């Protein structure tokens, strides 16, 4: 079985990263796990250190995009997977991303997650879908999913683009599609913490929207 190097960006994820990492440690398809602590102020770094040998601590919070870029510049495996830190035991479902990429059917596999009851209005997702469709002619159902897999040959192309926080997923979508890559979305049963219709949720989505627009300007 071909194995995968996993990059996990994490910011203040002490409540869930332990379960995510311990689950991955039990999976035979995982080669190496690199956690990039994006300037957390809780115990994320210490917990990660106890469960994987590769933990990078950024001196301050730089955003998801910067954390992933830092990880991509350090991995050496042939197959790369990006996973969120808060997936818990459902992270084992990420194995489903392997087949489309390793068989050559897709250059980028994206996990589609089940609908969660606690969520926003879907405006940011719709905006991301509209951008991808307008820019590439491709319809994506899960344009903002952070669970992704690709071959290492794409790393130089990805690193050549400037990344803006939560605009990372849009950046990856456009980078692959505009460079001739094929994307396949894969149904999974993964789940993570969803942001709801509260002040914190609205702030998160506003920041996400802004970083989507900055990413678009960069293209």
pLDDT band at 2 (very low <50, low <70, confident <90, very high): confident
Q: Report DSSP state, residue 122.
A: S
Query: What is residue 216's predicted lDDT score, i.e. its pLDDT?
Result: 81
Lookup result for tokens 């919070």: 61
The percent of residues in the chain predicted with pLDDT above 70, rounded, is 91
Give the C-alpha distances (Å, rounded to integers) separating 44 from 34, 40, 51, 69, 82: 13, 7, 11, 19, 18
Residues spanned by the domain of 50:
4-218
Mean pLDDT of the chain: 91
Which pLDDT score is estimated for 199?
A: 53
Query: How far apart, in whole angstroms, are the C-alpha atoms of residue 19 and residue 87?
Result: 8
Q: Based on the structure, what is the number of domains in the chain?
A: 1
**pLDDT band at residue 206, thresholds of 50, 70 and 90?**
confident
CA–CA gap between residue 129 and residue 163 (Å, rounded):
18
* pLDDT at 3 exceeding the cut of 90: yes
Looking at the whole model, is its pTM more than 0.85?
Answer: yes
Residue 15 has pLDDT above 60, yes or no: yes
For residue 213, pLDDT beyond 60: yes
Burial of 59 by CB count in 10 Å (0-12 exposed, 13-18 middle, 19+ buried)? exposed
- Name the strands in the sheet holding 108-112, side by side, starting at the edge strand that comes first in the sequence: 54-57, 30-37, 4-10, 79-82, 148-151, 108-112, 183-187
* Distance between CA atoms of residues 20 and 12, nearest Å: 14
Q: What is the pLDDT of residue 103?
A: 95
Tell me which residue of 146, 150, 132, 4 sits closest to 77, measured CA to CA: 4
Query: Which pLDDT does position 202 carry in this prediction?
Result: 46
Cα four-point dihedral sign 126, 127, 128, 130? positive
**More confident position, 163 or 95:** 95
CATH number of the domain encompassing residue 21: 3.90.550.10
């Amino acid at each position: 079985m071909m194995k995968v190097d996993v990059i996990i960006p994490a910011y203040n994820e002490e409540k869930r990263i332990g379960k995510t990492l311990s689950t991955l440690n039990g999976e035979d398809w995982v080669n190496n796990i690199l956690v990039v602590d994006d300037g957390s102020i809780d115990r994320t770094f210490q917990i990660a250190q106890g469960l994987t040998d590769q933990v990078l601590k950024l001196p301050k919070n730089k955003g998801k995009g910067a954390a992933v870029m830092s990880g991509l510049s350090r991995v050496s495996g042939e197959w790369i997977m990006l996973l969120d830190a808060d997936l818990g035991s459902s992270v084992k479902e990420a194995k489903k991303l392997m087949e489309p990429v390793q068989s050559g059917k897709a250059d980028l596999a994206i996990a589609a997650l089940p609908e969660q009851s606690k969520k926003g209005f879907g405006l940011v997702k719709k905006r991301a879908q509209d951008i991808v469709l307008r820019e590439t002619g491709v319809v994506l159902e899960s344009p903002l999913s952070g669970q992704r897999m690709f071959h290492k040959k794409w790393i130089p192309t990805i690193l050549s683009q400037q990344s803006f926080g939560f605009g990372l997923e849009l950046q990856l979508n456009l980078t692959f599609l505009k460079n001739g890559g094929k994307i396949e979305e894969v149904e999974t049963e993964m789940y993570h913490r969803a942001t709801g219709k509260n002040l914190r949720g609205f702030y998160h989505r506003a920041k996400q929207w802004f970083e989507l627009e900055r990413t678009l300007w960069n293209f």
